[in-house]
Amino acid sequence: MERDLDNANPTILSVSQLPSRRRKGPAARHGPDSRCDALVYPKHHWPFASSSSPSSDDDDGDDADEPVDAQDVYDLISTISDPEHPHTLGQLSVVRLPDIHLSPSPAELPSPDSLLTVLVELTPTINHCSLATVIGLAVRCRLEQTLPPNYRVDVRMKDGSHAQDDQVNKQLGDKERVAAALENDTLQRMVDKMLETCA
């Protein structure tokens, strides 16, 4: 890499330290990666969704009626690669399970069209990380592509973690800017590269 890293020595967690659902019981599957499958390849792919409910995937029976929860969201985005380190956002603790909030709880949705807000708070490895916006963009992009269309994704910097929190949060919350950013070849390439490790 030709430029200096913003943070040359991040703390890295090993994959086995990352939160997963493995202990949850008989319905559990085999770790974060395969858990993603139903979500990575949703039947109703945005924006061509049918009106069927988000939980009607039938490729795997034991998942059939389980709504997306925080762990699922974590699994979707923790495998995104950091733009400057050869590690995932999960390993770098940029994405943390306790910082993912769903509201209301997916189980309480009155109808499949009812809105559900997913709030993801990111913790950049250091507080002036210039790539915070790109990381946020990748996270938002990943979730919008994979979650059902009634999920509204809000990506923010965790309070105090980033020097220009407000600016970054505002950009990430602006649909028009996000759409335009994804038509920018350079940014699109960066995001694509970060998402390569997600499949």
Partner 1 sequence: MTTSPPPPSAAAPQKQQPTSATLTPLPPFQPDLYQRAWSSIPHPTLPLLATAHAKSVTVFSLATLTKHSALTGGHARSVRTAAWQPARGSGNTKRLGLVTGSFDATAGMWSFDEEEERGLEREVRFGGNSEEGDDDNDGGKEWEFNLVLEGHENEVKGLAFSPGGQYLATCSRDKSVWIWEDVSSGEGDGTEDDWETVAVLSEHDGDVKAVAWCPVDLPNAKAGARRGNYSADVLASASYDNTVRIWREDADGEWVCVDVLTDHEGTVWGLQWETKPRDDGKFPRLMTFSADGTIKVWSLREEETPDEPAAAEDSNAFRSNFGALPNTLRRSLREEWDCTAVLPKVHTRDIYSVAWSADTGLVASTGSDGIVAVYAEVDESEALSDKSGGEQEGEDVVMTSPSPQQQQRKPTWKVLGTISSAHGPYEVNHVTWCKRFDAGAAPERRGREEMLVTTGDDGVVRPWQARIA
Q: How far is the CB of 198 from partner 1 (least distance, A)?
A: 22
Q: How far is the CB of 12 from partner 1 (least distance, A)?
A: 36
Q: Candidates 5-13, 21-29, 41-49, 86-94 — which segment interacts with partner 1 by CB under 8 A?
A: 41-49
175 binds partner 1 (CB under 8 A): yes
173 binds partner 1 (CB under 8 A): yes
Q: Candidates 14-22, 46-54, 82-90, 158-166 — which segment interacts with partner 1 by CB under 8 A?
A: 46-54
How many CA within 13 A on the CB side of residue 82? Answer: 27
Under rule CB under 8 A, how many of the chain's residues touch partner 1?
22
In the chain, beta strands by DSSP E: 100-103, 116-122, 151-157
Give Cα separations from 117 to 12, 39, 124, 155 (angstroms).
Answer: 29, 17, 22, 10
Strands 151-157 and 116-122: parallel
Task: Identify residues 130-159 at the interface with partner 1 (CB under 8 A).
Answer: 148-150, 152
Nearer CB in complex with partner 1: 24/170:
170
Site string for partner 1, 50-89 (x = CB under 8 A): -x--------------------------------------
- Could you tell me the end-to-end alpha-carbon distance of the chain, in angstroms, rounded to an integer? 24
Nearer CB in complex with partner 1: 61/110:
110
Q: 81: which DSSP letter?
A: B
Torsion of CA 179, 75, 17, 194, to 10 degrees: -30
Per-residue exposure over 137-162, b if at least 16 CB sit within 10 Å of its own CB, e if not: bbbbbbbbebbbbbbebebbbeeebb
31 binds partner 1 (CB under 8 A): no
Q: How far is the CB of 180 from partner 1 (least distance, A)?
A: 5
183 binds partner 1 (CB under 8 A): yes
CA 199/CA 191 separation, integer angstroms: 14
Site for partner 1, rule CB under 8 A: 47-49, 51, 111-115, 148-150, 152, 170, 173-177, 179-180, 183
